Amino acid sequence: MSDIAKTVGKRLRGYRTSIGFSQEKLAEKAGLHPTYIGQVERGEKNLTIESLEKITKALEIPMASVFEKIEDRRESNFSLKAYDLLSHKNAAEREKLYNILLEIDSLIQK
């Protein structure tokens, strides 16, 4: 499957896990089959707009957030990789990771 399907799938998985939903719970809330959710998250299936809408409504996220900064994504662009990682974390997790980065940065600067 395409890189964009894999990226969208990873983002959806990140949003799902950040709110504590299983694939089964998301599938139930979205009115889709759990197998389909798994295939989407692994980038094995291309989403229809209707399915994406069902999933994003079930996750209570804007549909646009799934595609945010995706056109700028480059394999070597660590800023965007970090954005993808952090965007799926809750506020407390983001703060902890940021503080870790600050500590690492201060060690590098020495």
pLDDT digits (tens, 9 = 90+) for 66-77: 988 776 554 556
Residue 72 contacts residue 13 (beta carbons within 8 Å): no
Other C-beta atoms closer than 10 Å to the C-beta of 20 total 8
Q: What is the pLDDT of residue 76?
A: 53
**56-66: pLDDT as tens digits:** 999 999 999 89
Number of H helices, E strands in the chain: 6, 0
**Which residue in 36, 34, 15, 27 sits closest to 54, CA to CA?**
27
In three-state secondary structure terms, 51 is helix
Mean pLDDT for 5-21 is 91
With a CB cutoff of 8 Å and minimum separation 6, the contacts of 40 are 8, 9, 12, 47, 51, 55
Residue 1 pLDDT level (bands cut at 50, 70, 90) = low
**Which residue in 34, 18, 103, 9 sits closest to 26, CA to CA?**
34
**Domain range summary for the chain, segments of one domain joined by +:** 3-109
The CA distance from 28 to 48, in Å, is 18
CATH tag, 3-109 = 1.10.260.40
* 46-to-7, 8, 64, 73, 106 alpha-carbon distances in Å: 11, 9, 17, 19, 43
**17-55: pLDDT as tens digits:** 989 999 999 999 999 999 999 999 999 999 999 999 999
